[in-house]
Amino acid sequence: MKLIIAAFPPEKLPEVKQSLWKSGIKIMTVIDVRGCGQQKGYMEEYRGIIEEINLHRKVMVLIAVNNSFVEKTTKAIIKGARTGSIGDGKIFILDLYDCIRIRTGEKGVAAIGGDSVESKNLKKIEKVI
């Protein structure tokens, strides 16, 4: 299991969501964040006061997936978010120790769900038992 964290400009969110849905990834958490990287800052004047803005608005998407969905998920995010300019964002992939579905108490692969190879194999095992 992996946790995929992607941060990118908020105007790219509709395209990223559409790309993820087309790839079969429908479960995600979206958070509004601020951050800076190679974009650096810019100067803005508000009511006569000049202020340097160096934290840009971004959207952070968190997606827990089974291992067989990692590549499909990252490709979908890149397809939706890439412009080729500085500030397109970053994707982080972390090992996910466990996942628990609160409603049912399911753990691990079963809690993440979806149409992954792992969840299909789990269903086959449950039928045999």
Q: Report which secondary-structure segment, H or E, holds 108.
A: none
Q: Residues 44-97: pLDDT tens digits?
A: 777 888 777 778 899 999 999 999 899 999 999 999 999 998 889 999 999 999
Distances (CA, A) of 16 to 87, 93, 119: 15, 17, 24
CATH number at 2-128: 3.30.70.120
Rg (CA), the chain: 18
In 3D space, the residue among 116, 12, 110, 111 whose CA is nearest the CA of residue 60 turns out to be 12
Q: In the prediction, which pLDDT does 11 show?
A: 96
Question: What does the domain layout of the chain look like in residue ranges?
Answer: 2-128
Q: Of 57, 58, 55, which Cα lies nearest the Cα of 7?
A: 58
Query: Left, alpha or beta for 27 (phi > 0: left; psi -120 to 50: alpha)?
Result: beta
Give every CB contact of residue 83 below 8 A, 6+ residues apart in sequence: 12
Instruction: Please state the pTM of the whole predicted model.
Output: 0.81
